[in-house]
């Protein structure tokens, strides 16, 4: 083990002890060590799109980078043309009207937006409703903000939807935020108008801000929906969106949030004291990406559909079951009854077949009987993973 430098009597802030290193950060180190030993691990773990952005997106990045005035600090609120592009995108695909001057805030990735929103609305001791299973960052950032987490269970029996009756059995008087994520990660549950109507009504009833994290609505999903399409939603809701998934730009770190002008202004106060504006050529390139027509999404989904078929074959080979109506870039599958927990199956696949698949427990206790297979690998790689699982697992 590497010797760490002596820190004398220095101890970290209490909040550091409330969280641990992100699961994928730790696990990918192990995978890297296995690869260094020549084991050639196939990663079907993380949701990092492997395809490039639209060709015009890359061209714009290169073109604007050559301009002498492109390299300075940029506005914290993003350049006006990017906010206009996000506004037009929301109108075109979600039929939502957003004022680009006051109701949109570009972000350096929506993961960072989770922090900005939390710091803008949570005082130490405030409570947050967090889905189980759900994106782990909702929990970790809430802890960093010194909030108290109230976990609400999502179950297969209830269609992976919030059980509002069960949630209301809690004392909600100190709850400030509720994190939701539809289409849902990791389960792939699509959004619906009824669900969003229920969430808006719940938020207004209890004076709780509903934050919908919405990066998956264009992937293997025929009907993109925004919670902001519900009448009155802007009064109590914030929606985040991202260029990472549907536009193949995860490393670019470009996202956005939308809400009413007051919420946006409060979040900007936090953001402007944490980071600076995004590199202008990247903003210009994002504008080009947002202008993509339906053919871009159709072509992307044709690729994901073929990959999804292979992922389903992998799941079936492992004795898992799944809902074929899932949306998004993952397959969420229930493990066989004879397997004790998700980590047992994931570790068996990793160490015997050298294929990395995510155990569902990473996303909360309600995910312990499930695994998640990423579609961010090409067909050849998925077929190779399938062959290894068929031939190497004992």
User: Is 21's pLDDT higher than 90?
Assistant: no
More confident residue, 46 or 152: 152
User: pLDDT band for position 2 (50/70/90)?
Assistant: low
pLDDT given at position 321 = 98
3-state secondary structure the chain: CCCCCCCCCCCCCHHHHHCCCCHHHHHHHHHHHHHHCCCCCEEECCCCCCCCCCHHHHHHHHHHHCCHHHCCCCCCCCCHHHHHHHHHHHHHHHCCCCCCCCCEEEECCHHHHHHHHHHHHCCCCCEEEEEECCCHHHHHHHHHCCCEEEEEECCHHHCCCCCHHHHCCCCCCCEEEEEECCCCCCCCCCCCHHHHHHHHHHHHHHCCEEEEECCCCCCCCCCCCCHHHCCCHHHCEEEEEECCCCCCCHHHCCEEEECCHHHHHHHHHHHCCCCCCCCHHHHHHHHHHHCCCHHHHHHHHHHHHHHHHHHHHHHHHCCCEECCCCCCCEEEEECCCCCCCHHHHHHHHHHHHCEEEEEHHHHCHHHCCEEEEECCCCHHHHHHHHHHHHHHCC
- What is the pLDDT at residue 25? 78
Model confidence, pTM: 0.94
| Whether residue 6 has pLDDT greater than 80 | no
pLDDT tens, residue by residue, 111-121? 999 999 999 99
- Supply the pLDDT for residue 28: 79
- pLDDT above 60: residue 313: yes
**Which domains are present in the chain?**
14-52+295-392 (3.90.1150.10), 71-290 (3.40.640.10)
pLDDT at 199 over 90: yes
Give residue-wise pLDDT tens across range 332-391: 999 999 999 999 999 999 999 999 999 999 999 999 999 999 999 999 999 999 999 999
What is the chain's mean pLDDT, rounded? Answer: 95
Sheet strands side by side (includes 237-242): 104-107, 255-258, 237-242, 209-213, 175-180, 127-132, 148-153
How confident is the model at residue 220, as a pLDDT? 98
Quote the pLDDT of residue 93.
98
Q: What is the pLDDT of residues 246-304, one digit of tens each?
A: 999 999 999 999 999 999 999 999 999 999 899 999 999 999 999 999 999 999 999 99
State the pLDDT at residue 20: 76
pLDDT at residue 382, rounded to an integer: 98
The residue with greater pLDDT, 5 or 391, is: 391
Distance (Å, rounded) from C-alpha 186 to C-alpha 376?
14
Contact (Cβ atoms closer than 8 angstroms) between residue 142 and residue 118: yes
Q: What is the pLDDT of residue 30?
A: 87
Residue 7: pLDDT above 80? no
Region 4-13: what's the mean pLDDT? 75
Percent of the chain with pLDDT over 90: 90
Q: Is the pLDDT of residue 1 over 70?
A: no
């Amino acid at each position: 083990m590497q010797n760490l430098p002596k820190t004398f009597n220095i101890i970290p802030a209490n909040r550091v002890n409330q969280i641990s290193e992100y699961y994928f950060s730790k696990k990918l180190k192990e995978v890297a060590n296995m690869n260094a030993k020549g084991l050639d691990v196939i990663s079907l773990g993380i949701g990092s799109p492997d395809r490039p952005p639209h060709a015009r997106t890359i061209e714009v990045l290169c073109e604007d980078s050559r301009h002498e005035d492109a390299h300075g600090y940029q506005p914290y609120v993003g350049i006006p043309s990017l906010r206009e592009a996000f506004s037009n995108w929301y109108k075109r695909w979600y039929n939502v009207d957003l004022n680009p001057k006051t109701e949109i805030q570009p972000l350096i990735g929506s993961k960072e937006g989770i922090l900005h929103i939390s710091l803008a609305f949570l005082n130490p001791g405030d409570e947050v409703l967090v889905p189980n299973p759900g994106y782990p960052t909702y929990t970790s950032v809430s802890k960093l903000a010194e909030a108290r987490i109230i976990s609400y269970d999502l179950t297969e029996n209830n269609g992976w939807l919030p059980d509002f009756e069960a949630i209301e059995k809690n004392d909600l008087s100190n709850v400030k935020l509720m994190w939701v994520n539809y289409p849902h990660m990791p389960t792939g549950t699509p959004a619906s108008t009824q669900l969003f109507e229920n969430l808006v009504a719940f938020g207004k009833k209890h004076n709780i801000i509903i934050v919908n994290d919405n990066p998956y609505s264009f992937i293997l999903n025929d009907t993109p929906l925004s919670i902001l399409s519900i009448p009155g939603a802007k009064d109590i809701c914030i929606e985040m969106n991202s260029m990472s998934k549907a536009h193949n730009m995860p490393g670019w770190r470009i996202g956005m949030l939308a809400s009413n002008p007051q919420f946006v202004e409060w979040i900007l106060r936090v953001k402007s004291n944490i980071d600076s504006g995004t590199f202008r050529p990247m903003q210009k390139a994002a504008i080009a990406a947002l202008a993509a027509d339906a053919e871009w999404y159709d072509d992307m989904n044709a690729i994901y559909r073929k990959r999804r078929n292979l992922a389903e074959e992998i799941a079936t080979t492992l004795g898992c079951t799944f809902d074929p109506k899932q949306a998004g870039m993952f397959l969420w599958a229930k493990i066989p009854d004879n397997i004790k927990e998700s980590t047992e199956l994931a570790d068996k696949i990793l160490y015997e077949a050298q294929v990395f698949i995510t155990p569902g427990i990473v996303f909360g206790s309600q995910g312990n009987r499930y695994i998640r297979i990423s579609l961010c690998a090409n067909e050849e790689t998925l077929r190779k993973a399938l062959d290894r699982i068929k031939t190497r697992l004992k």
